[in-house]
Structure 1
């Protein structure tokens, strides 16, 4: 008894095309995306003199969703490196930790939106307490979530 193979829509297509079609179909069925979120942050460590102005840039790419992304800036101080202190955000004023609220309200610390996917954190009058590891985080806007980098850190040392 012989077995007879049944024909398919892919018969006659080169093996590389058949493989590409199968991979594409599997990715679509699995709900995966081709894009990958990538957050890029200014390289450090950064050194600045107390009383001077500093700007730290942060950019995100490879995302899906609105062109205007939100950015949240936090600091981890050397005295307690595991404790996140929210500094400022493009998402709203209620993000700021109490220690920074007066400086954020006065404009001494603020976020400048350069583009929908790019911001600068500004500290106009650098103080000793500003020393630490700064984190830029951008929440995902994709459904389902993409793989990739959603945050980055840079060390700032005030002199």
Structure 2
């Protein structure tokens, strides 16, 4: 794969293609301000409109290069003859329970695991109150 030109360079790569893009493409910020009778509210939202993410690691796949891993009930949805539409592929393990020799078989990057990583978050919220000028002068403040 020639990542610079985003194309396949080998003559016959089957159905392999570049999927997803981890670079945030649409970053945005929205600010808002409202005031009423001395009470003010200011907000700032920040986010990314388009970003792809492929999950990985032992927590996602349910195994790692060693036998001691944490398996969740979701990992039981793996391919087997009675579950052909499973989310995870058939696990391959060696006699010690580890998967190191089969890592390439067990972890397959496909668009099935491509996740939407877009988000919007409230980054700042400010609520304030302006004291009346008569109170400020009585207190000896400016």
Task: Output the TM-score relative to the length of structure 1.
Answer: 0.22
Larger radius of gyration: 2
Greater strand share, structure number: 1
| Bigger relative contact order (CA 8 A; separation at least 6) | 1
Could you state the TM-score of these two structures normalised by the residue count of structure 2? Answer: 0.24
